[in-house]
Amino acid sequence: MADTITPVGHEPTPEVTHLRHHFATNSQQLDASMLGMWTFLITEVLFFGGMFTAYAIYRFMYPDAFASTSVYMDVILGGTNTAVLICSSLTMALAVRSAQLSKNRNLVVFLILTMIFGSIFLYIKWLEWHAKWVEHLVPGFNFQYHEPQYFHHAQILFFLYFCMTGMHALHMVVGLGLLTFLLVQAIRRVFSAYYFTPVEMIGLYWHFVDIVWIFLFPLLYLIGFRHGNAK
Amino acid sequence: MATLAYGNPEIAAEEVNYLNVEHGWKSWLFTTDHKRIAVLYLISITLMFFVGGLMAVLFRINLLEPQGVFSAETYNRLFSMHGIIMVFFFLVPSIPATLANFLIPIMVGAKDLAFPRINLLSWYLYVAGAFLAIYSVVRGGVDTGWTFYAPYSTTYSNSYVLAAAFGVFVAGFSSILTGLNFIVTVHKMRAPGMTWSRLPLFVWSNYATGLIQVLGTPVLAITLLLLAFERIAHVGIFDPNIGGDPVLFQHLFWFYSHPAVYIMILPGMGVISEIVSCFSRKRIFGYNFVAFSSMAIAVLSFVVWGHHMFITGESMYTSLAFSFLSFMVAVPSAIKVFNWTATMYKGSVSFDTPMLYAFGFIGLFTIGGLTGLFLATLATDVATHGTYFVVAHFHYVMVGGMVMAFMGGLHFWWPKITGRMYPEAWSKFAALIVFIGFNLTFFPQFILGYLGMPRRYHAYPPEFQWLNVLSTAGASILGIGYLIPMVYFIWSLKSGPRVGPNPWGAAGLEWQIQSPPTTFNFDETPEVTEEAYNYGPLEEVVG
Amino acid sequence: MWCKAHLLAQLRLFPEQASAQAAPIDALYWFLTIISTVMTVLIFAAVILFAWKYRRRANAHATQIEGSTKLELTWSIVPFLIMLVMFGWGAQLYFAAQQPPKDAMEIFVTGKQWMWKVQYPDGGREIDELHVPVNRPVKLTMASEDVIHSFSIPAFRVRHDVVPGHYDSLWFTPTKTGRYRLYCTEYCGNQHAGMTGWVDVMDERSYANWASGGGTGGTLAEQGQQLFQQFGCATCHLLDQQGRCPILRGLYNKPVQLENGQTVIANDAYLRESILDPNAKIVAGFEPNVMPNFKGQVTEENVIQLIAFIKSLSPTTPASQQGPQQRPVVAGAKAPAPGTAKSNRPATPRQQ
């Protein structure tokens, strides 16, 4: 990080660093924001943790029924989405780097790329949900199941599937909104080596959402492989 | 007992402070000043307290007659909404969002909380949640109890569960944001010289509370969300008809709600530490132990939730572990009580109103805590679970503990918040009335509980009537005890005698700045050079 | 006289002890009460003493004391040791309460908004009334038709939640004849407060008289057998040879090998699940989706009857005497509809 801050010769004014009145120094402000964001991400872990707990319990109770659902999980689309999200994390990391190096044009480009990847993810997610609707797999609305012995327990999995991927997608939508906000500010040249806190914070959030998907993908899409009934 | 000069005639004209620096509703609704937000919170939670209290009065009236005065529907909705409003819209935000919001930045020597705009957002979320809860009341209320147990709440109840659950969900985020703000503020905003071992114990206890809010509340949020989906889609994971498990709901719910019990008591313990040391004019006995016990309570609170399911069919060995851990959490609570008592030893004790509330707290919390042991003990829990014994126990902790501490803290810092004093005689009278009314209301319920009277019954066998009549009589006295301060606090806003910066001669940064403080609290960042509670002889400090 | 007795009953401060469990639990309760009272008195006394002795008028200057690690450890460890006693004592009684004696008389209870339905092994049925003989251990096996209930008899100091989808149980040995209240203590909806009833503890002779009043539909197992015929279970579950479905004779409480490799014990919970959700656990060597789903067609009470029937199929009974045949079964007779009568037998023993 030696080249993060390029010395300009004189101390930047609070206007440049966006130092708010109640902080004494820039580093205090940045530290506070970082700790706040990490604390927030811990609450997010616990938020998703409730659903993962439910998933773990029912998978333990009904392993066969859960494995049987893999027939309907599109590993190709899910895998593509995993790759897309990993790419978006890379571009997000590059965006943060660009902001830290005051390379505003790169920042704008990487933010746009991240948003494009995010949108592709959501589009593919939408295709998958639509397929589930067509295949009558939406619990509570049109649920039917090819293996009647698993009807009830597969329904639990699809309920969790929609809750978990739905909550994840909602976080993606919020993330896209935040990125739009960043983009507008980046175009206005707000960020520089002296002030990039929002880019870094939203970057952390974006990586978190990404990591949630890294857990969701195997737990929802790949559980049938052992049983040889994945698509 | 007036040992200190309350009114200070020398302060005739008002200085510029956070209250008069700006005027108009916009200056309040868009403020990011933690002190103004604390005042907004104070007004909001007081309104909710009286709504919830009114419901309590109504259902206590119902219980005057063994066959009930109102219909079962009405009674069930009254006690459910009483629980929901009092727990989520009064007790959880009570001290953290008001007194701690006001005081933590000042106590650590900062100009504001770390995230002032998030602080304001948290108040708006609270208000939105409160509106949803009130909406569900207006539409006809909820009849699930505050615990929303599945499958009754998901499938069978035909009341306005969704609106109330969503209200709690939204208010939960307000609580998370408050906790997050405190954690970051305590870590990053302390003034030079304000080391962790110099923090007032009020800050310690609210920091511990913040940890619970941040770690527990998200689990409640997702649990309520799953419950709502299940209710909407008529299919889900708690429904036994499709292989789901209603007990999972209880596990998820209590994973938050048991720690939440400590959200509802730890800040009160912090207030009592401040008051006892101020009115004994002594450094708190065993500072490290009191501070550490707050953290111990916060950590242990997350591993005791299973004691709500001793009779719900969890395995014997699970019960054994949760019973043991529940006893463990009693140890740090006991440490606090002993230390407060020991603080008075060789002190110079005065009987001002905040101290009266602190006496009340120590006594009632002791009873509440000790009766908790009956519920942690496996065999006696079986005999008392789901009865009025449990109701009495948690009211001794929540009302006898937290509300007492809230009232004590409000009286203690009222001159700091408003710059004015309340009428001394009336406030002592009210404290006495609250203490008497409280015991009369809830002590008979211990007896009722062991006799077997189940909670949440709108009608009951006639042999329980006389104890219920006692309880209702107590409730009306208690109600008056809460109305009197309401009246004199409002009176004091306009007509109370003005006070100087430190009417109690108390130690702590908040007493070194003017009353009420200016918007940024300190003209320049203070440099802390001494321990907390550095009490010397009184004459030197009263100003 | 009655008035005075009535008044005394009204002023009761402590519940009756009417079961073998009550006295030990009360002993623990008193131990806790005494410890709590002593602690409360000590703390109150210390607070009042210090507050008065060191009041500001008498003691204008406080003496600063930092604290004392020795004291802190003392008042952490001593209460903790006392609490260990509470913990151990409570756990011991709790464990005993979880293990009913083998010879306990079994009665079945079904909770339904807002009543308790009771079924006796001899086929008798009651609502909100439970008759038991004095001095004999009784085990209740409980199920719920809808939401969570909790079955509680304060005079016996017993209570257990009744969670839908599970069997729950509790046991007690009544020691005093008389009528005691029973309650639902888990909030279950509108008429939760109406979900109460009475336990009638009778001496052996009165109980025998009362029991001889008898049900009209045969024993519980016979009622189950009727249902077994009525639902056509017998077409697949042949009693003496392998049909499309497993043989049920001698099945009860025996291990069952499942299709997925697991082994389970064919206890009440397994049988219940297999009736209501046959595909949940497929027996090794059998196809799924053969047996229809009986959820919604049979009530929890019916399931109890069917299980009683399966239990009665002892492996040694010859084929010609299959099932309980002590009383003639009226062909096609329906199981009594639930809730048609508060009770099908007199509440008090018949006069002979």
Instruction: Report the pLDDT value the prediction gives residue B241, as an integer from 0 to 100.
Output: 81
Picking from B189, B219, B243, the nearest residue to A49 by CB comes out as B219
Q: What average pLDDT does the segment B162-171 reach?
A: 95
**Residue % of chain C over a pLDDT of 90:** 48
Across A194-198, B199-203, C332-336, least confident range: C332-336
Distance between CA atoms of B122 and B99, rounded to whole angstroms?
Answer: 15
Would you mind telling me the total number of residues written for chain A in this entry?
Answer: 231
C131 membership: H or E segment, kind and range:
strand C129-133
Instruction: Report the pLDDT value the prediction gives residue A223, as an integer from 0 to 100.
Output: 85
Contacts of C288 in chain A (CB under 8 A): 147-149
Residue B363: closest CA among B395, B403, B400, B409: B400
Residue B345: closest CA among C51, C298, A71: C51
Instruction: Assign 3-class secondary structure to chain A.
Output: CCCCCCCCCCCCCHHHHCCCCCCCCHHHHHHHHHHHHHHHHHHHHHHHHHHHHHHHHHHHHCHHHHHHHHHHCCHHHHHHHHHHHHHHHHHHHHHHHHHHCCCHHHHHHHHHHHHHHHHHHHHHHHHHHHHHHHCCCCCCCCCCCCCHHHHHHHHHHHHHHHHHHHHHHHHHHHHHHHHHHHHHHHHCCCCECCECHHHHHHHHHHHHHHHHHHHHHHHHHCCCHHHCCCC
Q: What average pLDDT does the segment C252-271 reach?
A: 87
Query: Hey, are the CB atoms on C46 and B341 less than 8 Å from each other?
Result: yes
C295 and C194 Cβ atoms separated by less than 8 Å: no
Residue of C nearest to B455 (CA): C185
B502 and B542 Cβ atoms separated by less than 8 Å: yes
Instruction: Report the pLDDT value the prediction gives residue B239, as an integer from 0 to 100.
Output: 85
Best mutation site among C262, C277, C279, C282 for testing chain A: the one with the most A CBs within 10 Å?
C279
Residue B2 touches chain C, beta carbons under 8 Å: no
**Given a cut of 90, is residue B337 above it in pLDDT?**
yes
B181 and B213 Cβ atoms separated by less than 8 Å: no
Instruction: Report the pLDDT value the prediction gives residue A177, as an integer from 0 to 100.
Output: 97
At residue B387, φ and ψ (nearest 5 deg) are -110, 180
Instruction: Report the pLDDT value the prediction gives residue A5, as an integer from 0 to 100.
Output: 47
Instruction: Report the pLDDT value the prediction gives residue B437, as an integer from 0 to 100.
Output: 96
At residue B85, φ and ψ (nearest 5 deg) are -65, -45
B6-28 pLDDT tens trace = 445 455 456 889 998 989 999 99
Residue B248 touches chain A, beta carbons under 8 Å: yes
C300 and C271 Cβ atoms separated by less than 8 Å: no
Measured in whole angstroms, how far is the alpha carbon of residue B293 from the centre of its chain? 18
Query: Hey, are the CB atoms on A31 and B237 less than 8 Å from each other?
Result: no
Contacts of B244 in chain A (CB under 8 A): 58, 156
**Cα distance from A17 to chain B (closest Cα, Å)?**
17
Q: Please, which pLDDT band fits residue C220 given cuts at 50, 70 and 90?
A: confident
DSSP C163-184: -TTS-EEEEE-B-S-EEEEEEE
**Given a cut of 80, is residue B130 above it in pLDDT?**
yes
C110-120 pLDDT tens trace = 999 999 999 99
Query: Hey, are the CB atoms on B347 and C54 less than 8 Å from each other?
Result: yes
Across A65-69, B248-252, C215-219, C287-291, least confident range: C215-219
Cross-strand pairs, C109: C118, C142
Contacts of A151 in chain C (CB under 8 A): 279
**Residue % of chain C over a pLDDT of 70:** 85
Residue of C nearest to B151 (CA): C147
Instruction: Report the pLDDT value the prediction gives residue C10, as an integer from 0 to 100.
Output: 64
Contacts of B183 in chain A (CB under 8 A): 35, 39
Picking from A24, A40, A140, the nearest residue to B235 by CB comes out as A140
Residue of B nearest to C170 (CA): B311
Instruction: Report the pLDDT value the prediction gives residue B13, as an integer from 0 to 100.
Output: 55
Instruction: Report the pLDDT value the prediction gives residue A139, as an integer from 0 to 100.
Output: 87
**Given a cut of 90, is residue B179 above it in pLDDT?**
yes
Cross-strand pairs, C197: C182
Dihedral sign for Cα B59, B64, B66, B67, please. negative
Q: What average pLDDT does the segment A148-153 reach?
A: 83
Instruction: Report the pLDDT value the prediction gives residue A227, as an integer from 0 to 100.
Output: 56
Residue B229 touches chain A, beta carbons under 8 Å: yes
Instruction: Report the pLDDT value the prediction gives residue B279, as an integer from 0 to 100.
Output: 95
Distance between CA atoms of C141 and C271, rounded to whole angstroms?
Answer: 14
Q: Please, which pLDDT band fits residue B342 given cuts at 50, 70 and 90?
A: very high
A198-225 pLDDT tens trace = 999 999 999 999 999 999 999 999 887 6
Instruction: Report the pLDDT value the prediction gives residue B11, as an integer from 0 to 100.
Output: 53
Query: Hey, are the CB atoms on A143 and B229 less than 8 Å from each other?
Result: no
Q: What average pLDDT does the segment B311-322 reach?
A: 91
Query: Hey, are the CB atoms on B344 and C47 less than 8 Å from each other?
Result: yes
Give the Å distances, CA to CA, from B498 to B8, B61, B417, B419, B517.
6, 41, 12, 6, 14
Q: Please, which pLDDT band fits residue C285 given cuts at 50, 70 and 90?
A: confident
Contacting partners of chain B (3+ CB pairs under 8 A): A, C
Query: Hey, are the CB atoms on A35 and B116 less than 8 Å from each other?
Result: no
**Given a cut of 70, is residue B184 above it in pLDDT?**
yes
Q: Please, which pLDDT band fits residue B40 given cuts at 50, 70 and 90?
A: very high
Query: Hey, are the CB atoms on C289 and A150 less than 8 Å from each other?
Result: no
Exposure of C238 by Cβ count < 10 A (0-12 exposed, 13-18 middle, 19+ buried)?
middle
Q: Please, which pLDDT band fits residue C282 given cuts at 50, 70 and 90?
A: confident
Residue C28: closest CA among C96, C78, C88, C75: C88
Instruction: Report the pLDDT value the prediction gives residue C339, as an integer from 0 to 100.
Output: 38
**Given a cut of 50, is residue A60 above it in pLDDT?**
yes
Contacts of A155 in chain B (CB under 8 A): 235, 242
Across B267-281, B330-344, B428-442, B522-536, least confident range: B522-536
A79 and A225 Cβ atoms separated by less than 8 Å: no
Residue B269 touches chain A, beta carbons under 8 Å: no
Query: Hey, are the CB atoms on C279 and A149 less than 8 Å from each other?
Result: yes
Instruction: Report the pLDDT value the prediction gives residue B117, as an integer from 0 to 100.
Output: 95
Instruction: Report the pLDDT value the prediction gives residue B537, as an integer from 0 to 100.
Output: 76
Distance between CA atoms of B301 and B257, rounded to whole angstroms?
Answer: 10
**Given a cut of 50, is residue A6 above it in pLDDT?**
no
Residues 208-267 of C with CB under 8 A from A: 260
Instruction: Report the pLDDT value the prediction gives residue C345, as an integer from 0 to 100.
Output: 47
**Given a cut of 80, is residue A70 above it in pLDDT?**
yes
Distance between CA atoms of B165 and C105, rounded to whole angstroms?
Answer: 44
Query: Hey, are the CB atoms on B246 and C148 less than 8 Å from each other?
Result: yes
Distance between CA atoms of B219 and B166, rounded to whole angstroms?
Answer: 14
Return contacts of C250-255, CB within 8 angstroms, 24+ apart.
Answer: C250/C313, C250/C314, C250/C315, C251/C310, C251/C313, C252/C310, C252/C311, C252/C313
Residues 260-299 of C with CB under 8 A from A: 260, 277, 279-280, 282, 288-289
Residues 116-175 of A with CB under 8 A from B: 139-141, 143, 152-153, 155-156, 159-160, 163, 167
**Residue % of chain B over a pLDDT of 90:** 87
C41-100 pLDDT tens trace = 999 999 999 999 999 888 888 888 888 899 999 999 999 999 999 999 999 999 998 899
Instruction: Report the pLDDT value the prediction gives residue B172, as an integer from 0 to 100.
Output: 95
B449-495 pLDDT tens trace = 999 999 999 999 998 999 999 999 999 999 999 999 999 999 999 99
Cross-strand pairs, B98: none
B179 and B213 Cβ atoms separated by less than 8 Å: yes
Instruction: Report the pLDDT value the prediction gives residue C331, as an integer from 0 to 100.
Output: 37
Query: Hey, are the CB atoms on B184 and A47 less than 8 Å from each other?
Result: no
Contacts of C148 in chain B (CB under 8 A): 149, 151-152, 246, 312
Residue C257: closest CA among C237, C236, C280, C282: C282
Instruction: Report the pLDDT value the prediction gives residue A37, as an integer from 0 to 100.
Output: 96
Instruction: Report the pLDDT value the prediction gives residue A10, as an integer from 0 to 100.
Output: 54
C330-345 pLDDT tens trace = 333 334 443 333 344 4
Count residue pairs from A and B with Cβ separation < 8 A: 113
Residues 9-68 of A with CB under 8 A from C: 63-64
Residue A226 touches chain C, beta carbons under 8 Å: no
Instruction: Report the pLDDT value the prediction gives residue C293, as an integer from 0 to 100.
Output: 78
**Residue % of chain B over a pLDDT of 70:** 96
Distance between CA atoms of C98 and C106, rounded to whole angstroms?
Answer: 15
Query: Hey, are the CB atoms on B386 and C152 less than 8 Å from each other?
Result: yes
Instruction: Report the pLDDT value the prediction gives residue A226, as an integer from 0 to 100.
Output: 58
Neighbour-count burial for C50-74, b at 16+ CB within 10 Å, e otherwise: bbeebbbeebeebeebebeeeebee
Query: Hey, are the CB atoms on C150 and B346 less than 8 Å from each other?
Result: no
**Given a cut of 90, is residue B368 above it in pLDDT?**
yes
Q: Please, which pLDDT band fits residue C321 given cuts at 50, 70 and 90?
A: very low
Residue of B nearest to A34 (CA): B184
Residue B386 touches chain C, beta carbons under 8 Å: yes
Tokens of B58: 């109504």
Distance between CA atoms of B484 and B353, rounded to whole angstroms?
Answer: 14
Instruction: Report the pLDDT value the prediction gives residue B498, as an integer from 0 to 100.
Output: 92
Query: Hey, are the CB atoms on C288 and A152 less than 8 Å from each other?
Result: no
Exposure of C8 by Cβ count < 10 A (0-12 exposed, 13-18 middle, 19+ buried)?
exposed
Distance between CA atoms of A68 and A48, rounded to whole angstroms?
Answer: 24
**Given a cut of 50, is residue B350 above it in pLDDT?**
yes
A81 and A58 Cβ atoms separated by less than 8 Å: no
Best mutation site among B69, B300, B344, B375 for testing chain C: the one with the most C CBs within 10 Å?
B344
Query: Hey, are the CB atoms on A64 and C260 less than 8 Å from each other?
Result: yes
C156 and C22 Cβ atoms separated by less than 8 Å: yes
Instruction: Report the pLDDT value the prediction gives residue A228, as an integer from 0 to 100.
Output: 52
**Cα distance from C352 to chain A (closest Cα, Å)?**
54
Instruction: Report the pLDDT value the prediction gives residue C334, as an integer from 0 to 100.
Output: 38
Q: Given the structure tokens 């009115």, which residue do they identify?
A: B279
Query: Hey, are the CB atoms on A24 and B525 less than 8 Å from each other?
Result: yes
**Given a cut of 80, is residue B534 above it in pLDDT?**
yes
Residue of B nearest to A149 (CA): B242
**Cα distance from B111 to chain A (closest Cα, Å)?**
5
Residue of A nearest to C295 (CA): A152
**Given a cut of 80, is residue C327 above it in pLDDT?**
no
**Type of residue at B106:** I
Instruction: Report the pLDDT value the prediction gives residue B3, as an integer from 0 to 100.
Output: 39
Instruction: Report the pLDDT value the prediction gives residue B465, as an integer from 0 to 100.
Output: 93
Contacts of A63 in chain C (CB under 8 A): 260
